[in-house]
């Protein structure tokens, strides 16, 4: 029974979020650490190099790592303060079991793992193998991501494993695969510096990938023009050569409109198209109707902005396109990305210096996390779980019969649907916090409450863990070692800085311990993450995402190695598509006709305002880590609703007022922040907070039909002035979902 | 030519506060951030501007200190107040034209940015300029700046009738010779003028 054992206030009192306000030993502790550990930030896909100061098995501070080429010592505030997370009093130090009316009490690892294994088997015997599901995460190392996929297919033998990259990268990934036949940013970040025009669509670079700012500013010093598409004038947009305040969901109007003008003016590389692509004629015909006026209506901006964008992008010698969640978090996310990428392809400006495109990965291992086989539809090496050859090869690596590998399972939010519908009865989560991160939060809570058995692996008692029967105390990034793959496709190595608390366990040992109890111990005999990586190399061999030639030793020596890297003597592949060679069997890139369509829920008379959601610089995703670090909380302690002064005036909302933001699914009450930097038809709320402050109370569970990404970036709401909330939840600390 | 100089390029700042967070990690003043991130009225703009100590050639804070507690080193770095001398009067806090020194009641002492003396004196870069993701804060040579950025350095200021020259440079467009701070209009533009930072105005273009 996955219901709360005691009240939320009681759980918060015991398990937080409380805040780490001081480093280990206090601020006054200075002096030499025992050692400096060169590793990487645990947060976003930039994966900045950082040195952690370690003293007496505690991380006591940091020192910039200026030799690491991607960030050269630079860090955002999350990177600076990330070292404090391990000192948080909320850190789980042993496995916990839920006891009705009491809460969560410590248990032994043997009992916890035995009970988990027996519940998995009980549920599967009673309801079928697929009635037990797993939700994993893209902040896991490659080794753990690989292990989770194998665990699901070999030990649990359920089709239903998916990961939270489903909320993050899948639209970009699907678009890239459809067009190029592979799923990775096409270029190393050094190519940004050589671009003469940069187009960033739906990317709040300054807050969500801050280190990329320097690359953009350097390119501009060298003469690059900058075009930004965003309903909000974010810090990166403030000085842009062209800022287009596109209506959320109107991006295809900009992209197809630009292409229309580029065709008219002759800014198309027809020789490249003839030699290296298919499907151009259909696209050319389809964008005929996307005149500036027609496109402007879709995009909700003046037509001349689209003309100017085409004039800047079209004739440039070199160019770089980057996109992020702003165009991906839509029920047409894949189409948005394809329309964007086709602006690159039509000019032939790809596969050479200063020419290319990138999707800015959001999560720490946003790139690698989707290649190692923890996706519902993929096996390791980004292989297709329905492709007989792929299945056969992976079966041989795993030493199992091909038919024993389950087929394609449900995606992340579809798993929630199936739980809600009573089809899935048991759940394991690791590295995710659906009670904050999934849309239509009330629906997610109802689903979790229906589970017969829920086990969560986490290092803090997240909002989701509160619904679990068992919480297995896992490891922080600095407590284990393993690789991740950064935004550029560069595989890098995280070093272990400290040991986990005595009665916590590194994640991979929890999973292998469960596999053993499920009778698959012989397939999960690893002594170290490095052994898992060596198996992963073999599993990815011959695939597009080929890691075979990458070793931990090479990563260290070469500051990371870019995949594909098929052999130990292969230098790796920083830049894809050189010479116009793409990854489809015909070697060509494939155009796709993209037509604009409305969002699942557009504003109407009843709910007349667009809600869009996103991040702030000082918090990461569901906030499970960053809401526990005082320095980061001091930057943004609670969510807010950004609205334009004109909208505020219409609604009678003044500075400092609270507002109720309400959709058909739920509501939140947060402080108003009246700013001229947002479209007057749109409000923005950051999503890092839970409960009555969760932006995802309002968002809609509509999914892209191909990528199954939820539509976080547009739903319809009404907004009204509200009194300061006084209910029990509002009395919690802001970190826990209260109001200050 | 090889002298490392502190430059501020306000136009690059993205307001992330990495500098603020990193500053308080320095061993000499752990837990206290000496850098200020100035925020324009958020209603009007996302613009922000980091403010480190400018290290004046003739420091006003030192001039007004009745206890002679603020010293400038031979390298031009103006230090925090000397603990045995500081009487906590806050004259320096009041008089600094850049608003840099802060008085800490719990230690009854003024402390301020000393350009990470513990780091720069041993060949490292200041913490803020090392981590700054946008390199709005940069600690490098003039040659490197001229090679990689358009614009030029300025270290001459005029506050009303007072002229100030500083060790720290601000990187500005070529036409700027000196910063003159007189009366400033704090809010709003004339009614008729379009505001390029107002999205509603942009949409009506």
pLDDT tens across A499-552, in order? 999 999 999 999 999 999 999 999 999 999 999 999 999 999 999 999 999 999
Predicted local distance difference test score (pLDDT) of residue A7: 96
User: What are A321-359's pLDDT values in tens digits?
Assistant: 999 999 999 999 999 999 999 999 999 999 999 999 999
Q: Decide if pLDDT at A2 tops 60.
A: no
Q: Decide if pLDDT at A318 tops 70.
A: yes
The predicted model gives A94-112 an average pLDDT of 97
Predicted local distance difference test score (pLDDT) of residue A87: 87
Residue A239 or A2, more confident: A239
Q: B65: pLDDT confidence band, cut at 50, 70 and 90?
A: very high
Q: Decide if pLDDT at B183 tops 80.
A: no
Predicted local distance difference test score (pLDDT) of residue A454: 97
Percent of chain B whose predicted confidence (pLDDT) is above 90? 78
Partners of B22 on chain A (C-beta within 8 Å) are 75, 80
**Token pair of A327, please?**
């165009």
A221 inside 8 A of chain B by CB: yes
> What residues does B8 pair with on adjacent strands?
B137, B170
Is residue B104 a contact partner of residue B32, using CB atoms and an 8 Å limit? Answer: yes
Chain A from 47 to 66: CB within 8 A of any B CB? 61-62, 64, 66
Partners of B197 on chain A (C-beta within 8 Å) are 233, 238, 676-677
Q: B71: distance to nearest CA of chain A, Å?
A: 24
User: What are A698-719's pLDDT values in tens digits?
Assistant: 999 999 999 999 999 999 999 9
d(CA A378, CA A387): 10
Query: Pairing relation of β-strands B162-172 and B152-159?
Result: antiparallel
Q: Chain centroid to CA A284: how far?
A: 33
Total Cβ atoms within 10 A of residue B61: 25
C-alpha closest to that of B101 among B61, B49, B55: B61
Q: At what angle do helices A303-313 and A251-265 cross, to 10 degrees?
A: 60
Find the helix or strand (DSSP H, E) in which A90 lies.
none
Q: Decide if pLDDT at A170 tops 60.
A: yes
d(CA A29, CA B15): 29
The predicted model gives A173-179 an average pLDDT of 98
Predicted local distance difference test score (pLDDT) of residue B39: 82
- ipTM of model over 0.90: yes
Ramachandran region of residue B108, left (φ > 0), alpha (ψ -120 to 50) or beta?
Answer: left
Q: At what angle do helices A292-299 and A251-265 cross, to 10 degrees?
A: 160
For residue A84, the chain B residue with the least C-alpha distance is B25
Chain A from 72 to 101: CB within 8 A of any B CB? 73-77, 79-81
SS3 category, A410: coil
Q: Which residue's structure tokens are 């496709």?
A: A489
List Cα–Cα distances, A214 to A193, A217, B44, B61, B65, in angstroms: 10, 5, 24, 34, 40
**Token pair of B122, please?**
């041993």
Do the chains contact at B199 and A233, CB–CB below 8 Å?
A: yes
Q: Decide if pLDDT at B147 tops 60.
A: yes
Percent of chain A whose predicted confidence (pLDDT) is above 90? 97
**Token pair of A442, please?**
């009330």
Residue A151 DSSP class? I
Residue A678 DSSP class? B
A353: burial class by Cβ within 10 Å (0-12, 13-18, 19+)? middle
Ranges assigned E (strand) in A111-157: 132-136
Residue of A80, A300, A301, A672 for testing the chain B interface, max B β-carbons within 10 Å: A80
For residue A210, the chain B residue with the least C-alpha distance is B133
A215 inside 8 A of chain B by CB: no
Q: Decide if pLDDT at B193 tops 80.
A: no
Q: B181: pLDDT confidence band, cut at 50, 70 and 90?
A: confident
Predicted local distance difference test score (pLDDT) of residue B188: 60
Q: Decide if pLDDT at A3 tops 80.
A: no
Q: Decide if pLDDT at A365 tops 90.
A: yes
d(CA A401, CA A161): 19
A217 inside 8 A of chain B by CB: yes
User: What are A104-134's pLDDT values in tens digits?
Assistant: 999 999 999 999 999 999 999 999 999 999 9
Q: Chain centroid to CA A42: how far?
A: 13
List Cα–Cα distances, B44 to A336, A469, A496, B187, in angstroms: 31, 49, 45, 9
Query: Out of A400-414, B139-153, B174-188, which region has the weakest mean confidence (pLDDT)?
Result: B174-188
SS3 category, A683: strand
Total Cβ atoms within 10 A of residue A448: 22
Q: Which chain B residues touch A if contact means CB-CB below 8 Å?
A: 11-18, 20-22, 24-25, 27, 30-31, 42-48, 125, 127, 130-135, 148-150, 195, 197-200, 202-205
d(CA A590, CA A45): 27
Q: Decide if pLDDT at B189 tops 60.
A: no
Do the chains contact at B133 and A210, CB–CB below 8 Å?
A: yes
Q: A232: pLDDT confidence band, cut at 50, 70 and 90?
A: very high
| pTM of the complete model | 0.97
Predicted local distance difference test score (pLDDT) of residue B41: 87
Total Cβ atoms within 10 A of residue B97: 17
Q: Which of A218, A236, A245 sits opposite B14 (nearest CB)?
A: A236
Predicted local distance difference test score (pLDDT) of residue A28: 78
């Amino acid at each position: 029974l996955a219901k709360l054992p005691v009240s939320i206030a009681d759980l918060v009192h015991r398990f937080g979020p409380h805040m780490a306000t001081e480093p280990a030993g206090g601020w006054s502790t200075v002096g030499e650490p025992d050692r400096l550990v060169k590793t990487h930030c645990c947060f976003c896909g930039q994966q900045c190099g950082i040195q952690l100061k370690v003293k007496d098995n505690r991380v006591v501070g940091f020192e910039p790592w200026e030799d690491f080429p991607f960030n050269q010592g630079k860090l955002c505030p999350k990177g600076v303060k990330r070292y404090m997370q391990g000192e948080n009093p909320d850190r789980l130090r042993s496995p916990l079991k839920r006891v009705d009316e009491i809460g969560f009490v410590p248990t032994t690892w043997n009992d916890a793992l035995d009970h988990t294994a027996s519940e998995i088997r009980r549920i599967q015997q009673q309801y079928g193998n697929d009635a037990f599901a797993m939700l994993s995460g893209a902040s896991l190392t490659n080794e753990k991501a690989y292990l989770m996929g194998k665990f699901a297919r070999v030990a649990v033998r359920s089709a239903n494993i998916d990961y939270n990259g489903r909320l993050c990268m899948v639209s970009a990934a699907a678009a890239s695969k459809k067009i190029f036949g592979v799923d990775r940013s096409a270029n190393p970040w050094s190519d940004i510096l050589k671009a003469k025009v940069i187009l960033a669509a739906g990317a709040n670079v300054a807050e969500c990938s801050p280190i990329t700012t320097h690359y953009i500013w350097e390119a501009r010093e060298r003469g690059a023009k900058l075009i930004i598409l965003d309903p909000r004038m974010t810090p990166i947009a403030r000085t842009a050569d062209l800022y287009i305040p596109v209506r959320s969901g109107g991006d295809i109007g900009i992209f197809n409109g630009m292409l229309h003008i580029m065709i008219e003016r002759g800014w198309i590389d027809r020789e490249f198209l003839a030699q290296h692509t298919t499907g151009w004629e259909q696209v050319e015909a389809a964008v005929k109707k996307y005149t500036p006026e027609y496109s402007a209506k879709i995009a909700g901006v003046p037509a001349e902005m689209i003309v100017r964008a085409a004039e800047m992008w079209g004739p440039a010698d070199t160019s770089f396109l980057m996109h992020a969640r702003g165009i991906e978090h839509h029920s047409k996310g894949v189409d948005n990305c394809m329309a964007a990428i086709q602006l690159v392809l039509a000019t032939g400006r790809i596969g050479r210096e200063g020419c290319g495109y990138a999707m800015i990965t959001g999560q720490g291992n946003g790139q690698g996390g989707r290649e190692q086989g923890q996706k519902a539809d993929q096996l390791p090496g980004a292989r297709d779980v329905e492709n007989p050859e792929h299945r056969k090869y992976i079966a041989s690596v795993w030493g199992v019969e091909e038919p024993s590998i389950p087929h394609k399972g449900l995606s992340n939010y579809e798993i929630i649907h199936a739980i809600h519908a009573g089809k899935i009865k048991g759940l394991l989560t690791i590295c995710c916090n659906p009670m904050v991160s999934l849309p239509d939060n009330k629906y997610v809570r109802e689903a979790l409450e229906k589970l017969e058995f829920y086990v969560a692996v986490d290092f803090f008692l997240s909002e989701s863990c509160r619904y679990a029967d068992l919480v297995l105390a896992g490891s922080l990034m600095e407590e284990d070692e393993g690789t991740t793959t950064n935004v550029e496709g560069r595989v890098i190595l995280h070093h272990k800085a400290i040991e986990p608390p005595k009665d916590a366990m590194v994640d991979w040992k929890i999973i292998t311990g469960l596999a053993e109890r499920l009778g698959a111990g012989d397939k999960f005999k690893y002594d170290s993450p490095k052994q898992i990586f060596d198996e992963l190399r073999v599993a990815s061999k011959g695939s597009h995402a080929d890691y075979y030639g990458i070793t931990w030793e090479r990563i260290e020596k070469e500051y990371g190695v870019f995949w594909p890297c098929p052999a130990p003597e292969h230098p790796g592949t920083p830049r894809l598509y050189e010479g116009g060679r793409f990854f489809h069997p015909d070697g060509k890139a494939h155009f796709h006709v993209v037509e604009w369509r409305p969002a699942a829920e557009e504003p109407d008379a009843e709910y007349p305002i667009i809600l869009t959601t996103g991040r702030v610089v000082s918090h990461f995703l569901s906030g499970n880590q960053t809401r526990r670090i005082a320095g980061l909380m001091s930057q943004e302690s609670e969510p807010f609703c950004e609205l334009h002064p004109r909208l505020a005036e219409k609604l009678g909302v003044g500075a400092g007022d609270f507002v109720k933001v309400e959709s058909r699914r739920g509501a939140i009450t947060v402080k108003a922040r009246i700013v001229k930097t947002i479209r007057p038809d749109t409000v923005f709320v950051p999503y890092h907070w839970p409960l009555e402050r969760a932006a995802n109370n309002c968002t809609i569970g509509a999914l892209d039909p191909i990528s199954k990404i939820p539509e976080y970036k547009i739903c319809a709401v009404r907004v009204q002035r509200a009194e300061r909330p006084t209910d029990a939840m509002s009395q919690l600390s802001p970190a826990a979902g209260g109001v200050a | 030519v090889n002298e490392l100089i502190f430059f501020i390029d306000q136009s690059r700042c993205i307001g992330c506060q990495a500098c603020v967070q990193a500053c308080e990690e320095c061993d000499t003043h752990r837990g206290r951030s000496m850098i200020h991130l100035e925020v324009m009225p958020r209603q009007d703009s996302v613009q922000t501007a980091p403010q480190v100590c400018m290290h004046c050639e003739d420091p006003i804070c030192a001039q007004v200190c009745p206890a002679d507690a603020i010293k400038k080193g031979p390298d031009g770095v103006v230090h925090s107040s000397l603990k045995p001398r500081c009487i906590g009067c806050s004259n320096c806090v009041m008089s600094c034209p850049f608003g840099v020194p802060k008085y800490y009641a719990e230690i009854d002492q003024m402390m301020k940015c000393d350009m990470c003396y513990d780091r720069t004196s041993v060949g490292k870069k200041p913490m803020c300029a090392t981590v700054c993701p946008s390199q709005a804060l940069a600690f490098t040579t003039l040659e490197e700046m001229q090679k990689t950025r358009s614009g030029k350095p300025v270290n001459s200021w005029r506050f009303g009738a007072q002229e100030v020259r500083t060790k720290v440079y601000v990187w500005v467009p070529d036409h700027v010779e000196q910063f003159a701070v007189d009366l400033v209009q704090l809010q709003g533009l004339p009614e008729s003028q379009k505001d390029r930072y107002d999205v509603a105005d942009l949409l009506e273009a």
